[in-house]
Amino acid sequence: MRGARHWAVTGRGSMSGPPRAARLALHLALLLWYLFILSRNLGLSERHPGAATYGGRWKYLTFLDLVLQAIFFGICVLMDLLALAAKRGRRLQSLAQHVNTLQDRIFTNLAFPVGSFVVLSFWLLYVYDRELVYPREMDDIIPQWLNHAMHSVILMPLLMEVWLVSHHYPSRVSGLVMLSAFCSLYLIWVMWIHSVSGIWVYPILAKLNPVAKVVFLAVAVISTAPLYLLGEKLEHIRWGNVHWTQKIK
């Protein structure tokens, strides 16, 4: 098992993905893109109605996802640099393998399912009734291109990452546990904000009765599991059984 994992770490550069230098250029561009989007998002703080209330931007899953994606692609850049440096010596190989494991875990357990959920949930609610998630007055505050950058475009880098870079999935149980823990912590955060300030992070929560809230939030959490499985399936379709040695448990 360890030998198979070692092959997956050190041998991926020889697979059908792009050369490591090309990956570095792509990951660096995506990191800069997310830093730019975050800076523009923060630049709207004076006009954004929720920025000055309890929790600020950190109460919105969209903003947390932008931070998550920036962290992930920052780790990708670090991994690419370590991989290039490790070709000239083995001292960095151990560190590179640890970073590689962290990179895989963040992408498979968080970045892909959470990013996909942000896109899917936002647009489903927007189509049903935009006032439940993105009131019309937000059009005068957030430029349309920035809205799409936060709620649409984020899916494209994730799909590119699936196609260009092979990521090792952990056991299904451990992956779903980590994702569920993230979702649970966010729900606790949302409830805490309401208990302290009386504010519901999203307009839809203010319109639902207690039972409907529980059902809505439960469905939201459960819906992240199929998105995790989708990422796992796409990985398998794209890269086959290359390092499917830790079969689903």
- Helix segments in the chain, DSSP class H: 2-11, 20-42, 61-86, 93-106, 112-129, 144-151, 155-164, 172-197, 203-207, 210-222, 224-239
Which tens digit of pLDDT belongs to each residue from 2-42? 333 433 333 343 345 788 899 999 999 999 999 999 999 99
pLDDT for 45 equals 67
Residue 187 sits at φ, ψ, to 5 deg, of -65, -40
Q: For all residues of the chain together, what is the average pLDDT?
A: 88
- Between 10 and 127, name the one with better pLDDT: 127
Name the amino acid, one letter, at 26: L
Closest C-alpha to 202, from 131, 124, 142: 131
Q: 104 CB contacts (<8 Å, ≥6 apart)?
A: 167, 168, 169, 170
Q: With bands split at pLDDT 50, 70 and 90, how would you rate the model's confidence at 145?
A: very high
pLDDT for 242 equals 45
* Interatomic CA distance for residues 242 and 235, integer angstroms: 10
Token duo for residue 184 = 């649970």
* Interatomic CA distance for residues 131 and 174, integer angstroms: 37
* Interatomic CA distance for residues 190 and 200, integer angstroms: 7
Mean of pLDDT values over 107-129: 97
pLDDT for 246 equals 40
pLDDT for 89 equals 66
Which tens digit of pLDDT belongs to each residue from 40-91? 999 886 778 788 899 999 999 999 999 999 999 999 999 999 988 877 667 7
pLDDT for 16 equals 58
pLDDT for 188 equals 97
Q: With bands split at pLDDT 50, 70 and 90, how would you rate the model's confidence at 227?
A: very high
- Of the given ranges (46-60, 207-221, 232-246), which has the lowest mean pLDDT? 232-246
Closest C-alpha to 235, from 187, 164, 185: 164
**pTM of the model as a whole:** 0.88
Contact 214, 165 (CB under 8 A): no
Beta carbons within 10 angstroms of residue 78's beta carbon = 18
Token duo for residue 49 = 């109605």
pLDDT for 43 equals 87
pLDDT for 6 equals 38
Contact 243, 15 (CB under 8 A): no
pLDDT for 2 equals 38
Burial of 30 (0-12, 13-18, 19+ CB in 10 A): buried
Q: With bands split at pLDDT 50, 70 and 90, how would you rate the model's confidence at 92?
A: confident
Q: Does position 243 have pLDDT exceeding 70, yes or no?
A: no
